[in-house]
Amino acid sequence: MTGPAPVLAIDIGGTKLAAGTVGPDGEIVAYDRAPTPAGDDPEILWNALEALLDRIPAEGAAGVGVGCGGPMTWPAAEVSPINIPSWRGFPLRERLRARYPGMPVRVHNDAVCVAVAEHWRGAARGRGNVLGMVVSTGVGGGLILGGRLIDGAGGNAGHIGHVVVDPEGPPCGCGGRGCLEAIARGPGLAAWARGQGWRHDQADPTGADLAADAREGHPVAAAAMRRAGRALGIAIASATHLCDLEVVAIGGGVSQAGPLLFVPLEEALRAHARMDFARRVRVVPAALGQTAGLVGAAALIHEGGRYWNRRTRNGAPAE
């Protein structure tokens, strides 16, 4: 490959681990993935990640960019993903710096990386004020305002999954109640539907099963998708009023349900986004698919001027 060196990109989620090398144009040069192992031992997950990385060539890479579920300390990247209970305060950046000495290692929230990818090379390209979202095992997001990634005080800005959309709603893994994530994430959707009689005699049906049944007209499955879409629309209306957004790009496994999710989302959004400026926001499917997290993680290195704050709030170097 000629020109600038590729970046080793890593995407760590509650369902899968992915890694690859990504060129400066956002093209994925090499790619592999593995399931995220269950269990309480943090080293089991780290060992699985190392086994995956052993299969990805990293010699000569410009750096290591990582998206991981949050929350996390930032930029130190001691990660505590809500949907990966074995990692609590896990020193991810420290471990990766030891594995790849001499390379810059930049770690951010996995949903932030999706937002970055869609702004850099995807559905929100050319727009300055963007919310990127992931609706999957969890619900997360990242904010681009004025063409730059917004980190917030601790690197966790954009965590729309924990906006409260129903104060009387179900408990959330964060300890709150009625969060968007508690309602719209795939496992939560399936659990709610089972409680209403959908596939109640089947072990562990998934969000994909739910969407498939909704397409076939199953009333409970369809109601579950409407419930999730409505919750997303309410949260996006609030975010739009707060941040004056132009585009919201939504990816993740649950978003693959298409109109089953996006139609009730639009109905709720338009019912609640009543200010003139808020009515202009467009909600679109993410364009980069399941590899968006890797593309965004690579952009932390390739496009650090826009997507990486080189100094923390107290002035200490971020790398």
What is the rounded average pLDDT for all residues in the chain? 93
pLDDT at 318 over 80: no
Cα torsion 166, 171, 176, 180: sign: negative
- Give the span between the Cα atoms of 131 and 157, in whole angstroms: 11
pLDDT in tens, 22-43: 999 999 999 999 999 999 999 9
Fold agreement between 7-109+291-307 and 123-287: yes
What's the token pair of residue 18?
């992915």
**Can you name the CATH fold of 123-287?**
Nucleotidyltransferase; domain 5 (3.30.420)
pLDDT at 1 over 50: no
pLDDT at 151 over 80: yes
Which of the pair, 69 or 21, is modelled with greater confidence? 21
**Taking the domains of the chain in order of start, what are their residue ranges?**
7-109+291-307, 123-287
What's the token pair of residue 317?
């170097």
Mean pLDDT, residues 51-80: 93
Model pLDDT, residue 311: 53
**Can you name the CATH fold of 7-109+291-307?**
Nucleotidyltransferase; domain 5 (3.30.420)
pLDDT at 260 over 60: yes
- Give the span between the Cα atoms of 123 and 247, in whole angstroms: 9
pLDDT at 2 over 70: no
- Give the span between the Cα atoms of 165 and 176, in whole angstroms: 11
Name the pLDDT band for 315 (thresholds 50, 70, 90).
Answer: very low
Model pLDDT, residue 172: 95
Q: Are the C-beta atoms of residues 119 and 82 closer than 8 Å to each other?
A: no
Name the pLDDT band for 145 (thresholds 50, 70, 90).
Answer: very high
Model pLDDT, residue 156: 85
